[in-house]
Structure 1
Amino acid sequence: MDEIEEVEGSDTSSSRFPSQEVPPPIILKGTGEVTIFGLCCKYDNEFPHQLSGRLAPEEFSKMINRINSALKRSMASQLRWLVAGFALCVCSAGCSFLPVVCLSKRTRLRIQKLIDYENHRLYHKLGLRWDLVTLQIEDSPMFEYVIKIEYLPKIHLTYPD
């Protein structure tokens, strides 16, 4: 009877399944001069030291350059539509901003699709996951879109599901 109580009292689940320490995610904020509806026109391709040993600096730079090129293609037209929206705002009761909102949403979806493709192709195999997420600006009700790089916990094949 005493042996049963000792076994029930001990926490064997923590010894069989050790918790994995996952480093905190890396947040890449926009560094460009123009931000339209929270989406910045450029991200810095400086390699974060937290990714050393997990990802080659060339691969990181190539991914950021792909995102920056997608932003560069769309930001020029968004800026033109935004200026036109400001010019026609009084006449259209604000409806002139609708093309800018649609272009911004299309740009975000395009970048998210690019990130999802690269996650599936490469980054999930390396134990990383990239994502485009919203982050509230400090002391402000406004938000911005940032790139978040999360570490995925390693799956031990010897542990049961």
Structure 2
Amino acid sequence: MYNNELKSLGNVEVKEFMLSKDGYNLIGFLGKGTHYNWLSLPQLCISVELSDFHDDFWNTEQLASSLDDFVLIDLLICTIHDLDHLFGKVKQDCFDGKNFITTREYTFWLECECESLSRQLIQFENDLFPSKMTQEDLDDDRLHYYIYSREQYGTDAF
């Protein structure tokens, strides 16, 4: 019999990204762990260990051992550099309207912004023009403001 032991080696941060060109999307995951860094491209069945994110020579060699397309390799090296600044931040830092980890988190941030703006507009209106509206009427108005806020971001954002 084999003796097995499962042990956590530390916290791993992972950033999901998508590269798009000519209608094709390539989804990847960039990970930074305590003991190693890695890049995974599930659609291509590739996962490689990386050095420091700024070690272009080593990382290019690692990618070239699994990929034949040098344009894609260069693009992935640039992507690694672009995502490097997101590691080591607390999640709150990434929801400032400028830095987002994934498309889902960006969409969630937009949804929260629309929700918050709709509540603020209703409160502002009520403060300026006090009325005898019921809670149901206020909720209806908030919903209309919410829909209006979403339209301001454009339908492609959601």
Taking structure 1 as the reference length, what is the TM-score of the superposition? 0.23
Taking structure 2 as the reference length, what is the TM-score of the superposition? 0.23
Higher relative contact order (CA closer than 8 Å, sequence separation 6+): 1
